Structure 1
Amino acid sequence: MPLSEQEQRLLEEMERSLYQNDSDFVARVTRRQGRPTYTSITIGVLGALAGVAIVILGLVMRQPLIGIVGFVVMLAGVLFALRPGMGAPKPSARAPRTPSSGGSRGPASGGSSNGGSFMDRMNERWDKRNDPNQ
């Protein structure tokens, strides 16, 4: 069921308010925390393979407890492989906290160089469409 005009305007207003008032939160949510390192991927894959081997061993020996342990080892290996690298800087360390500039961000914020981010451009188009005075 599509949103009504009033609900859409309210949602857009809430989104603009979020971008204007809590830019640190938006930066934390949209920016990637860090990449997994090759070492963690290698250890994680080896752990996952060991977990599969333990699960198969549990099936062959008909011991469900060994299979469960193998599944836990396999899951831990996958999670270890996907975790961000330990040396990755936190987003707050990369982007110093600055006061909000009324919702308009420059081209250095990750958008294209001709008008800010995608959401800023979409908000501007929405405002122009709905405001006959512009």
Structure 2
Amino acid sequence: MPLSEHEQRMLEQIEQALYAEDPKFAHAVRSTNPQVHYKRRIVKAALGFVLGVCALMTGLVMNAGTVTIVVSVTGFLLMVVCCVWALTSWKRMTGVGSEAAPPGGAGGGGAAGRPARRERSKRGFMDRMEERWRRRTEGE
């Protein structure tokens, strides 16, 4: 929704006051791109994943009993956490998954009047069986 003229003037006044009060901070905030932040997080997650692989391999090579299991499990968990962290950062950076689904489901009606895959998955097993039975008895 676009801002009204009054709101735009108020924003400009706030921006000018911020520049007058702390120009270094205002310049840093204005020039920061959020995608750079998410790219850094993805790189850190990739490094953490590699570190997790190294820890997992070290745990597999070691012959120290329970320490081996702890190091291996820690490496695996680090890999999983870094994958999740990288995927969430990538989703936020690209905006994937933030749009609402189009009305009527993702694929529309489907062939022969079947409901869309997304709608079908929401219904229970018994509902689907009843629908199939009804179609059979009605001769469709």
Task: Return the structure number with greater helix share.
Answer: 2
Query: Please, what TM-score do these two structures have when normalized by structure 2?
Result: 0.37
Q: Give 1 or 2 for the bigger CA radius of gyration.
A: 2
Query: Please, what TM-score do these two structures have when normalized by structure 1?
Result: 0.38
Answer 1 or 2: higher relative contact order, Cα 8 Å, separation at least 6: 1
